[in-house]
Amino acid sequence: MAKVAVLGGGSWGIALSVLLHKNGHEITIWSALEKEIEMLSTEHEHKMLPGVKLAEDMIFTTDEAEAVKDKDMLVMAVASSYTRETAKRFKEFVAPGQIIVNVAKGIEEDTVMTLTEIIEQEIPQATVAVLSGPSHAEEVGRGVPTTIVVGAKKKSTAEYIRSLFMNEVFRVYISPDVLGIELGGSLKNVVALAAGIADGLGYGDNTKAALITRGITEIGRLGMAMGGRYETFSGLTGIGDLIVTCASMHSRNRRAGILIGQGKSMEEAMSEVKMVVEGVYSAKAAMQLAKKYNVQLPIIEQVNLVLFEGKPAAEAVKDLMLRDKKIEVSDAPWEEE
């Protein structure tokens, strides 16, 4: 049995708390929100995960020192926009070498840093890893089978984290490509916004398949330019996570995109979804990275124009379709004429 603290009382943190507790570990759940901790400790259920019960022996706290002390692993499960703030709160309490597993997905807009990079910067004494893949909280909380990836710099760290999470419904692979895993998990949210917008416009399965296929091409193009591995983007945290996020109504990014495609503004869509829409925060950062690494991201570029410059969604789709003619496999040889 390990002692684990889950930092963040949202639906994803709660789903992982339930999973880890079923694996026999001692669970402490921390939240900065007193009302959230009160709800969890009294109702033993999160309102976003109805029917997913929290065990009576779980510990709930708003105290940072209590949450972190003597824990074998910390799970950073706050929304990406709160990662730096939360890391700062915990810096003085984290012991040298203590493992922090980031499970959120996003890129910080101002610095274009990944979330593990932020945690490493704010808590340099920690051993930081990432967990990502096709894993909606609504299904993980109910024990629906899925497969994810743990990324860490050292194999021993990844293997230890895998030993805590893995069971018969939660299969865990390991990888050293921390950067690739984080980029895949972050950028797929932007493409999912595009897929949702297409749904909101009333387009069909062909359109979505095209967006998914060309979307992973964009993600891989930027990711490999930054040093990520091709296998990562063709794997669970690339195409796997992209498919589920573009296709599922559990996806807050797809739901927000549908509303935008139906004519709502970005602000109206985010308000109606009532959850953090990570793709909105990653969209601008993606374009900054594209400029830095001289990479073309036509789908993500159009998403930015729709989100932040008021471009009509139907016009954005038209411009994507009428782009300069391209070759899909650029280095394949042709027969001589």
Number of other residues whose CB lies within 10 A of the CB of residue 192? 32
According to DSSP, residue 281 is labeled: H
Residue 336 lies in a domain: no
- Give me the domain span that covers residue 47: 3-176
Say what the pLDDT of residue 323 is: 76
Confidence (pTM):
0.92
Structural domain count of the chain: 2
Do 106 and 65 lie in one domain? The reply is yes
Do 44 and 132 lie in one domain? The reply is yes
What percent of the chain has pLDDT above 70?
100
Average confidence (pLDDT) over 70-91: 96
Q: pLDDT tier at 275 (50, 70, 90 boundaries)?
A: confident
Residue 329 lies in a domain: no
Residue 332 lies in a domain: no
The alpha carbon of 15 is separated from its chain's Cα centroid by a whole number of angstroms, namely: 14
Average confidence (pLDDT) over 255-283: 89
Q: What is the pLDDT of residues 86-119, one digit of tens each?
A: 999 999 999 999 999 999 999 998 999 999 999 9
Which residue of the set 188, 208, 284, 318 is catalytic? 188
| Cα–Cα distance, 173 to 188 (Å, whole number) | 19
Q: Domain containing 28 — which CATH number? A: 3.40.50.720
User: Active-site residue 88, yes or no?
Assistant: no
Do 135 and 233 lie in one domain? The reply is no
Residue 187 lies in a domain: yes
Whose CA is closest to 299, among 268, 278, 321, 281? 321
Burial class (CB in 10 A: 0-12, 13-18, 19+), 254: buried
Say what the pLDDT of residue 327 is: 78
Six-digit token string for 7: 């930092």
Buried b / exposed e over 25-60, threshold 16 CB at 10 Å, is bbbbbbbbeeebbebbeeeeebebbeebebeeebeb
Do 13 and 155 lie in one domain? The reply is yes
Do 65 and 112 lie in one domain? The reply is yes
Q: Which ranges in 128-171 belong to alpha helices (H)?
A: 137-140, 155-165
Whose CA is closest to 270, among 196, 187, 201? 196
Number of other residues whose CB lies within 10 A of the CB of residue 109? 17
Say what the pLDDT of residue 62 is: 97
Do 136 and 255 lie in one domain? The reply is no
Burial class (CB in 10 A: 0-12, 13-18, 19+), 295: middle
Do 144 and 88 lie in one domain? The reply is yes
Say what the pLDDT of residue 336 is: 87
- 73 strand-pairing partners: 4, 99
Do 77 and 102 lie in one domain? The reply is yes
Q: Domain containing 262 — which CATH number? A: 1.10.1040.10
Q: What is the pLDDT of residues 179-217, one digit of tens each?
A: 999 999 999 999 999 999 999 999 999 999 999 999 999
Q: Residues near 276 by Cβ (< 8 Å), separated by ≥ 6?
A: 79, 80, 81, 252
Do 194 and 299 lie in one domain? The reply is yes
Do residues 152 and 160 make contact, with C-beta atoms less than 8 angstroms apart? no
Whose CA is closest to 5, among 19, 32, 26? 26
